[in-house]
Amino acid sequence: MRIPLNYEERTGHLPRLMRDVNVRLRRDDDTQAAISAAAADHGGLRHKQGYPVEMLIEESRLLQVSIFTTLHQNVKNLEFSTLLPNIVTIADEVNAQLKQQMKSFKAADSAERAKGK
């Protein structure tokens, strides 16, 4: 909250990231996470907005906590035979998105430093 952003600036990326999570959950195979354009865009945007790396990581942690809290609150409506594998997939996808965000963030940082030289 140290960086002043309105609601859309702070949360506008979430629908695209969640769409990527949903796509991954709907796959029938155990393939690795695809590169997320949404995550790459988000990492570059957060760099532009002045976020430190730690806040980007905290955002990802909060996303996972929110997803798992929602699952817990709706446990009565879930199929237990698919729950654990889906949790693993969700965690893997969110972590893969964080990796892509960090790559994009670092690339934006490197480009900014190169301009400054």
For residues 69 and 74, give the distance between their C-alpha atoms in angstroms, rounded to a whole number: 9
Mean residue pLDDT across the chain: 92
First vs last C-alpha separation in the chain:
31
Which residue type sits at 48?
K
Look at residue 32 and give its three-state secondary structure.
coil
Output the pLDDT for position 33. Answer: 72
Nearest to 100 by CA among 27, 28, 24: 24
For residue 1, what pLDDT is reported?
Answer: 59
Q: What is the pLDDT of residues 14-37, one digit of tens each?
A: 999 999 999 998 886 666 778 899
Q: What is the pLDDT of residue 34?
A: 80
Is a pLDDT exceeding 70 seen at residue 78?
A: yes
Report domain extents, the chain: 7-116
CB 31 within 8 A of CB 91: no
Q: Cα–Cα distance between 13 and 78 in angstroms, integer? A: 26
Spatial separation of the C-alpha atoms in residues 89 and 74, rounded to whole Å: 18
